[in-house]
Amino acid sequence: MPTRFARLAAPALLAYALLAPLAQAAPHIPASGATVVERLPRRADPAQRELATLRAQLAARPRDLALATRTAQRYITVARQETDPRYFGYAQAALAPWWTMAAPPPEVRLLRAILLQSTHHFAEALRDLDAIVAADPANPQAWLTRAIVQTVRGDYQAATASCARLSSLSTELVTITCVANVGTMTGRSAKSEALLEMTLRRNQEADAGMRVWVLTLLGEMAQRRGDAKAAEERFKRALALDARDSYLLGAYADFLLDQKRAPEVIALVKDHTRIDGLLLRQALALRQGGTSTEALRNADAELKARFEAAMRRGDTVHQREQARYELHIRADAKAALALAQQNWAVQKESADMIVLLEAAAKAGDKAAAAPVIDWVAKHAVEDVAVARLIKQIKAGA
């Protein structure tokens, strides 16, 4: 599933596209925008009709820069909304004439950075972003995307600096959300949460996508400090605005799993299991509930097939989810720990800490937990689940 700070884009460009799933399959990249990979269902969805029109136009004018970037932007937005990584591949194909250039046009370079961060090519994304802000320091999208990548990687000082550049370039709510998100990982949880909540109250005119993002983050903040009542109230407010947001569904499902409310998880995700992370939540709930053995076997088999396919493609974006699968569904602590360690080398959010600590505890490998324990101490990370696991591991020494 998604990292919690990877969907938002500056409103002028991608309408909150960046907080969508990073932990999905890496996209297959078609040779060109005209390559037929799969016939998508023709829905009444206006977005699909728009994409069909853009595809036809781009096939006729593949080197039309404005058309190509507009097409790529729409593909990225739909990829996030549908949690379908194929659209990332289509976006990259739309940019094919410029993709391999060392210094493509700025609008292509920004989209390339967004696509690279979506598949965890963080170093490459940062190279593009650094070049963009050096040439155009007033580009809010680039600063925000840069902050996103830096936060996920755990470079909190740099992320804070990137967020600060937004203060004169974007809205108050975007800027404060960026800063508060970093603050919750660096020992300033209470102040960051209070500031973000107050800012949201002052900005009720913000569009629904923005409010869903902020409410979801606020729900996770409350959950990390152990306030279940506040967390649930915020998640439900977000769901009332958008009941299909895949990141929100995953976050709320995890909250319900923590509360041992498996039947509610199953009901929540039942129509969304084409999304790998939500199929995982269904399997976790079936395991926790101890019912419907056949349904659990089916979910297990489907997850196994999906993860194996991702590994054959060389896709490493699934590692956090696959580690949870190996640990809680397959009961293979050794495999889970290896995956969690590989994932930790790439991203360092609370969920990454939890799965590594859980796997280390199950495997009885205190040394494997040491990097997370040291990280938590160094950055004053505040998370009741993380603290509980660290206490458990230390007690077992």
Same domain, 239 and 334: no
- Does 346 reside within a domain? yes
pLDDT tens digits, one per residue of 217-257: 999 999 999 999 999 999 999 999 999 888 899 999 999 99
Same domain, 250 and 357: no
Retrieve residue 158's tokens.
């740099």
Residue where one domain finishes, among candidates 279, 309, 339: 309
Q: Which long-range contacts (CB under 8 A, 24 or more apart) does 126-130 make?
A: 126/150
What is the model's pLDDT at position 318?
83
Query: Is 41 or 142 the better-scoring residue by pLDDT?
Result: 142
Query: Is 33 or 358 the better-scoring residue by pLDDT?
Result: 358
What's the per-residue H, E or C state across 211-223? HHHHHHHHHHHHH
Domain containing 230 — which CATH number? 1.25.40.10
- Does 228 reside within a domain? yes
If DSSP codes are grouped into helix, strand and coil, which group holds residue 19? Answer: strand
In this prediction, residue 5 has a pLDDT band, given cuts at 50, 70 and 90, of very low
pLDDT at 25 over 60: no
Same domain, 222 and 327: no
State how far the Cα of 348 lies from the Cα of 339, in Å rounded to an integer.
14
In this prediction, residue 88 has a pLDDT band, given cuts at 50, 70 and 90, of confident
What is the model's pLDDT at position 269?
97
Same domain, 32 and 126: yes
What is the model's pLDDT at position 60?
96
pLDDT tens digits, one per residue of 268-312: 999 999 889 999 999 999 999 987 789 999 999 999 999 998 888
Same domain, 69 and 109: yes
Residue tagged 């509980």 (tokens) = 388
**Residue type (1 letter), 56:** A
Sign of CA dihedral 217, 220, 222, 224: negative
* Cα 358 → chain centroid: 21
State how far the Cα of 364 lies from the Cα of 385, in Å rounded to an integer.
18
What is the model's pLDDT at position 19?
43
Mean pLDDT of the chain: 88
Question: What is the DSSP code (8-state) at residue 120?
Answer: T
What is the model's pLDDT at position 328?
97
| Structural contact between residues 149 and 122, judged by C-beta atoms closer than 8 angstroms | yes
| Structural contact between residues 112 and 131, judged by C-beta atoms closer than 8 angstroms | no
In this prediction, residue 38 has a pLDDT band, given cuts at 50, 70 and 90, of very low
Same domain, 20 and 120: yes
pLDDT at 35 over 70: no
Query: Is 363 or 8 the better-scoring residue by pLDDT?
Result: 363
**DSSP for 39-89?**
-----S-HHHHHHHHHHHHHHH-TT-HHHHHHHHHHHHHHHHHHT-THHHH
| Structural contact between residues 369 and 338, judged by C-beta atoms closer than 8 angstroms | no
Residue tagged 């976050």 (tokens) = 251
| Structural contact between residues 145 and 8, judged by C-beta atoms closer than 8 angstroms | no
Retrieve residue 366's tokens.
């205190």
**CB proximity list for 160: less than 8 A, separation 6 or greater:** 179, 182
Retrieve residue 156's tokens.
């909190």
Same domain, 203 and 281: no
- Does 186 reside within a domain? yes
In this prediction, residue 118 has a pLDDT band, given cuts at 50, 70 and 90, of confident
What is the model's pLDDT at position 46?
84
What is the model's pLDDT at position 13?
38
Residue tagged 């995953």 (tokens) = 250
Helix residue ranges per DSSP H, 184-261: 189-202, 208-224, 228-241, 246-258
For 63, 247, 272, the CA distances from 277, given in Å and listed in that order, are: 36, 9, 9
Question: What is the DSSP code (8-state) at residue 393?
Answer: H
Question: What is the DSSP code (8-state) at residue 167?
Answer: G
pLDDT tens digits, one per residue of 359-378: 999 999 999 999 999 999 99
Structural domain for 197, as ranges = 171-259
**Residue type (1 letter), 266:** I
Q: Which residues of 149-173 are buried (b: 16+ CB within 10 A; e: fewer)?
A: bbbbbbbbebbbebbebbeebbbeb
Residue where one domain finishes, among candidates 259, 278, 300: 259
- Does 164 reside within a domain? no
Portion of the chain with pLDDT greater than 70, in percent:
88
State how far the Cα of 289 lies from the Cα of 310, in Å rounded to an integer.
28
pLDDT tens digits, one per residue of 55-79: 999 999 999 999 999 999 999 988 8
What does the angle CA 302 – CA 264 – CA 228 come to, to the nearest 5 degrees?
120
Same domain, 255 and 271: no
Helix residue ranges per DSSP H, 136-188: 140-153, 156-164, 172-183
Same domain, 359 and 272: no
Same domain, 53 and 95: yes
3-state helix, strand, coil in the chain (%, to 5): 70, 0, 30
Residue where one domain finishes, among candidates 109, 130, 145: 145
Least confident of 82-86, 343-347, 357-361: 82-86
Residue tagged 């203060």 (tokens) = 167
- Does 302 reside within a domain? yes
Portion of the chain with pLDDT greater than 90, in percent:
77
- What average pLDDT score do residues 181-205 get? 96
pLDDT tens digits, one per residue of 136-174: 999 999 999 999 999 999 999 999 999 999 999 999 999
* Cα 197 → chain centroid: 22
Same domain, 230 and 271: no
What is the model's pLDDT at position 34?
47
Domain count, the chain: 4
What is the model's pLDDT at position 237?
98
Same domain, 231 and 370: no
